[in-house]
Amino acid sequence: MTNKILNFGSLNIDYVYKVPHFVKPGETLASQYFETFFGGKGANQSTALARAGATVSHAGKIGPEGKRLKEQLQSDGVDVTHIIEGSTPNGHACIQVDTKGQNAILIYPGSNGEVTKEEIETTLNQFGEGDFLLLQNEISCVDALIKLGNERGLKVCFNPAPMNPSVREYPIGLVNTLIVNETEAQALSKKENMEEAIEQLIKLYPQTELIITLGKLGVVYRYQTEKYEIPACSVNVVDTTGAGDTFIGFYLAAKLEGKGVEEALKLASKASGLCVSKQGAQSSIPTKEAVQNFSA
């Protein structure tokens, strides 16, 4: 039987503002343009999984104005039967993008913060041992999801974004795959030096596959005796929004196909490189065919 992947994550509406620089305290700054995109780290990662060729189910909660998010995911081939429609306003993000393509993001959780343990249990009952459970940190009850997923024999993959102090209290030792960026690795390990941060994470979670995405410096992989360092693709960076989500989706899709770790990391890095060369979150996530044809 083919294993399934359930992504229990956020569904956001992104309001994107192009600015000459990030707004400073007390400053009023005119945006050069404004656009609306569908986003949320959860929805982005489900989109990436689907475009990478994986069969993925998305679970989460939307508000009254979030039906378009559900329709968009469905149009990308994502199973949306586990998305709950609630009455709380939909989660959204205000994103500043500067002239260098870097971003600063303010998030309102909304419906994403209304997920209950009962809803989690009902959804997880549809999945079983050997299936994948992908999680981020933009919805409520993430700690319960990790525990319940582990109890049911699911392979738990956790991306602790956005990072906050409560993440350290999560049962991360039960996670099979931990994917962090530089800031998250430093915060989780309480180490500023990246080499020290990586070594500390290995000590804290010795049974967990560790992947650290470092932007233009590439990707570092550590799991027991396996070690890989994959360089980043050389591309013109337009917008880094969604790059990490794209990486995660394509990495897991490759693993589901039976590809080895190194090949999966390289494919995910290429996909992430294509993502940052375009504007937007979900709209910039490439297809499997585009990644296969891309020469980094």
Which token pair is 168?
A: 């350290």
Beta-bridged to residue 33, according to DSSP, are 18
d(CA 128, CA 154): 6
Cβ-contact 216, 200 below 8 angstroms? no
Please tell me which residue in 79, 131, 239, 245 is annotated as part of the active site: 245
Residue with tokens 């919805």: 139
Active-site residue 76, yes or no?
A: no
d(CA 57, CA 61): 13
Cβ-contact 146, 160 below 8 angstroms? no
Provide the CB-side half-sphere exposure for 126 (13 A, CA). 16
Cβ-contact 85, 110 below 8 angstroms? no
**b (16+ CB within 10 A) / e for 8-17:** bbbbbbbebb
* Nearest residue to 72 via CA among 100, 94, 42, 95: 42
d(CA 3, CA 7): 13
Which residue type is seen at 269? S
Cβ-contact 37, 281 below 8 angstroms? yes
Catalytic residues: 245
